[in-house]
Amino acid sequence: MTDRLQPGDVAPAFTLPDADGNEVSLADRRGRRVIVYFYPAALTPGCTKQACDFTDNLEVLADAGYDVIGISPDKPEKLARFRDKESLKVTLLADPDKKVLEAYGAFGEKKLYGKTVVGVIRSTVIVDEEGRVERALYNVKATGHVAKIIKDLGI
């Protein structure tokens, strides 16, 4: 199990394909604050709710200086179907080998219906303009999470 990130840590660099197969890097967002959220699977109820919440609040977050990137182990083709079906506006990135998920502490043991399983830990990491972790939230709930972030950030 990977260590969880702490405020002040340097956010692990990544370059991953988006839903259209284009490479997206965290370094491309330098100078902006970035909300990187990790979710288990596209086209599932909880992940759809969370992605739609981020899309619904994207303008508010962008106006406050935040970009939003969602990362899952899904392949780009599935992310494209997810984006198109739900009219998502957030940037969705594919991490099928789970290297970025692991680097961010968002993959490992978790409780699922009372059992310990290994999988994606629903997490959100807020990266500042310099590429450092501002906040790292683990085991977050899909519902109400975006509203909580907006409230906690004072947006």
Which positions are catalytic? 47
Distances (CA, A) of 141 to 9, 96, 108, 121, 145: 24, 22, 17, 10, 6
Q: Any idea what DSSP says for residue 18?
A: B
CA distance 59 to 44: 24
**Rounded Cα gap, residues 46 and 23, in angstroms:** 26
